[in-house]
Amino acid sequence: MSCWQTIQDYGLRSLGIGERGLPKADITLCEQFVLIGSGMIWNIYFGVFALICGFFLATAVAVGKGSKNRLIRKSSEWFIFLFRGSPLFIQFFFAYFLFLSLKSVHPFFDPFTAAWLGAMIVLFLNTSAYSGEIFYGALRSIPKGDVESADAYGFSGWPRFKRIIWPTTLRLAWPAYTNEAIFLFHATTLVFFSGFPTWQQRGDALYYANYFADKTYNPFIPYPILAGYFILLTLVVLAIFGAVNRRLNRHLPQEAKRKIKFRPNIIR
């Protein structure tokens, strides 16, 4: 079988398109590249949707934590503490059994027990908590003179937040938020170990890497391939977030712009 035929047969297998059966003998390097790459579709899906949805919830949580209203402030603090204080894998575990219990109550919750929705919700809440703390720290770091200047120009309430406070917060938080985005994409591999079943029993990239490692008894080929795909994904994230960072700081002198540095979390 040619490599091009392999791409046609297995390129979209993770979405349920193409050959149903997996290669069991004479597994080629092309088949490993193609199928692990196909599984990356799900990792990208989890990361992109959790990141987009989490950005807005993180904004609300950060503002809530800085609120003078005790109920809103404490709710935000406990949300951040709960999801930052517990391991992500444990959150997957409890969320799955919670959705499984709700499924027995009403059929509306059926999709929540599948990875495409249930696991994505867990990742969304987790990154919202971490990002919310990053944004809150940036809110606290806004120079007092910026706020006083806004007051002097007659800005107050929502206009002041929209034009002065929030743009400054993003500029201060963006380098750290970039690292959180990278970690989020890496954390999508934990979905494989969670109890959430994949759509039509098709797996993510780690599912295929683990399959090939078991079949070939050689983990030194599929896992480096998987790592290579995530390195490429990290480079794409850095490029996109770097472009946004330059856009946010376009008005600053070149030497004053904050550059994004990748600082991986060794322990979290």
> What angle in degrees, to the nearest 10, is found between the helix axes of 120-140 and 29-65?
50
pLDDT in tens, 79-126: 999 999 999 999 999 999 999 999 989 889 999 998 899 999 999 999
The whole-angstrom separation of Cα 99 and Cα 118 is 8
> What angle in degrees, to the nearest 10, is found between the helix axes of 88-105 and 120-140?
130
pLDDT score of 47 more than 80: yes
pLDDT in tens, 195-236: 787 655 468 999 999 999 999 999 999 999 999 999 999 999
| Other CB atoms within 10 Å distance of the CB of residue 206 | 23
pLDDT in tens, 155-174: 777 888 888 899 999 999 99
The whole-angstrom separation of Cα 119 and Cα 187 is 11
Q: What confidence score (pLDDT) does residue 78 get? A: 97
Q: What confidence score (pLDDT) does residue 262 get? A: 61
pLDDT in tens, 13-39: 988 888 888 998 889 999 999 999 999
